[in-house]
Amino acid sequence: MGTVQITHDFTGTPFTDNVTVVNGTVYTYGIGPIAVGSYTWSMTANDTYGNVNASENGTYTITQATQYLNIDATPSWSETYNTSTTVTGSNCPSQLSCLLYQNGTQVTNAATLNLSAGTYNYTFNTSGNVNYTLASNSSLLLIAKATPEGAINSTDSDWSIEAGTQITIGYEENNTGDSDLTYIIYRNGTNIGSGETWSPGVGSYEYILNTTGGNNYTANNSMDNDVLVVVDTVAPNISIIIADNGRLMFLQPPFLLFS
């Protein structure tokens, strides 16, 4: 065989090129990538004696490719408030423009965010082009409310004082994003707001800290509780007085007279 050639319009204009021989009767030709469309081609061959043979025109059709886009969330698609999440769209061919949307608004792909509690619809899509169909992949990110934490504190770390001693009761918390929460301390079931300073009498007083909850936190009726014990261990003072008439008088608060 002398020369084998192919004539085609794969590039958009007619072009003739030599083909590669695989063996004595099989030939191959490679070109690409080829854009979407319908193309014609034919082969010609001539031998060393000048004999020429040509094939009929063939048709070669390229259709749009379908691209499957990926969308992933780390650590997962279901997290709790105050957990940073990263949503990433991937598997987008370099020939395409793929965008990530959160609730319909375009956002940065693979950005790490600390979102408020709620449900977020993420979509990674492309409008395609002449060679690719449009493609889209969506998933829901759920950010659940967190459980608020806090602790009651007092100016007496043992929560045990002598009757008549002044004590201050308050609370502390480090919850972020809690501007809509209200923290309340209850003493024996009575609302005392954010705390109190007082001198309680003998007895036992139960303090409970709770919160109403808000956008990012659940309600918590018992964030912390402590019991204040008030005792009286001071012995009464007794005085013995010998009066002018010789009688003995024992005086003790509230100064009773014995004779």
pLDDT in tens, 144-201: 999 999 999 999 999 999 999 999 999 999 999 999 999 999 999 999 999 999 999 9
- What is the reported pLDDT for 194? 97
Cis peptide before 93 (omega within 30 of 0): no
CATH classification of the domain holding 164: 2.60.40.10
φ, ψ for residue 202 (rounded to 5)? Answer: -55, 135
Into how many domains does the chain fold?
A: 3
The answer to whether position 85 is within a domain reads: yes
Shared domain check, 37 and 19: yes
The answer to whether position 188 is within a domain reads: yes
Domain boundary among 41, 62, 83: 62
Domain boundary among 62, 82, 112: 62
The answer to whether position 43 is within a domain reads: yes
Shared domain check, 157 and 225: yes
Q: What is the pLDDT of residues 26-45, one digit of tens each?
A: 889 998 888 899 999 999 98
Q: Does residue 135 surpass a pLDDT of 70?
A: yes
User: Is pTM beyond 0.95 here?
Assistant: no
Look at the block and give the residue holding tokens 């993420």: 122
Q: What is the pLDDT of residues 207-220, one digit of tens each?
A: 999 999 999 999 99
- What is the reported pLDDT for 247? 60
- Residues 6+ away with beta carbon under 8 Å from 176: 82
Shared domain check, 212 and 175: yes
Beta-bridge mates of residue 191 = 186
- Banded model confidence at residue 143, pLDDT cuts 50, 70, 90: very high
Query: What is the rounded CA–CA span in Å between residue 49 and residue 77?
Result: 72
- What is the reported pLDDT for 23? 82
Write out the residue range of the structural domain in which residue 131 sits: 70-144
The answer to whether position 247 is within a domain reads: no
What single letter denotes the amino acid at residue 131? N
Shared domain check, 44 and 18: yes
- What is the reported pLDDT for 237? 72
More confident residue, 200 or 250: 200
pLDDT, averaged across the chain: 91
More confident residue, 25 or 203: 203
The answer to whether position 238 is within a domain reads: no
CATH classification of the domain holding 86: 2.60.40
Q: Are 106 and 99 in contact (CB under 8 A)?
A: yes
Q: Does residue 244 surpass a pLDDT of 70?
A: no
Closest CA to 169 of 181, 182, 184, 189: 184
